Amino acid sequence: MLAGEPCPWQQEREKQKAVATAPISRTPPAARDKRKFARHSIPFPIEIRGCGDVSLHLRTHAADITGNGCYVQTMQPLPKGTNLSITFWLSSELLLTTAIVRTSTHGVGMGIEFTGIDEATQKRLQKQLESMVIGGRLALAKSTSS
């Protein structure tokens, strides 16, 4: 525009101001947690074995666990997509299931999804985990109040 000339969009700007609405947010919404069950940070003993050509036998504790998966801290995680065999205790029942590595970060750990557990068993596991968390909090509260 040249100095002294009227703005060619002035009428349009005035119309927009008259019917002004809040600007549309262009910030994407925060990513939603897609987990089916709440994650619990409790030491949960598991045994991990490789399937097929993967030579691995590891007894460890899951750092985080839910009814359908866990996260294992390890300096040398297996590659994403690796099939595994997982064994752990569900109450007094030894449970053996298939699993797959869903995330893998070298020097940190791997996220594992339990693929061979039906939904009813997932719910039983989640219930056991929640009782462990509640029991642990009660034990901690009693020991700190003494």
pLDDT tens digits along 13-26: 777 666 655 555 55
Better pLDDT: 117 or 13: 117
Residue 95's pLDDT is what? 92
Residues 6+ apart with CB under 8 A from 106: 75, 76, 77
6-27 b/e with 16+ CB inside 10 Å = b?
eeeeeeeeeeeeeeeeeeeeee
Could you say which DSSP state residue 76 is in?
S
Structure tokens at 86: 């997982």
Question: Mean pLDDT score of the chain, rounded to an integer?
Answer: 81
* 129: enclosing H helix or E strand: helix 119-145
Q: What is the pLDDT of residues 29-64, one digit of tens each?
A: 555 556 678 888 888 999 999 888 878 888 999 989
Structure tokens at 58: 């590891």
Q: What is the pLDDT of residues 124-137, one digit of tens each?
A: 999 998 888 776 55
Tokens 């642990």 sit on residue: 136
Gyration radius of the chain's alpha carbons: 26
Strand partners of residue 36: none
User: Does residue 94 surpass a pLDDT of 70?
Assistant: yes
107-135 b/e with 16+ CB inside 10 Å = b?
eebbbbbbeebeeebbebbbeebeeeeee
What's the predicted TM-score (pTM) here?
0.68
Q: Pick one of 2.40.10.220, 3.40.50.2000, 3.40.50.720, 2.30.110.10 as the CATH number of 36-140.
A: 2.40.10.220
User: Does residue 141 surpass a pLDDT of 70?
Assistant: no
Better pLDDT: 109 or 10: 109
Residue 62's pLDDT is what? 93
User: Does residue 7 surpass a pLDDT of 90?
Assistant: no
C-alpha to C-alpha distances, 79 to 53, 88, 109, nearest whole angstrom: 13, 22, 10
User: Residue range 81-85: average pLDDT?
Assistant: 94
User: Residue range 100-105: average pLDDT?
Assistant: 95
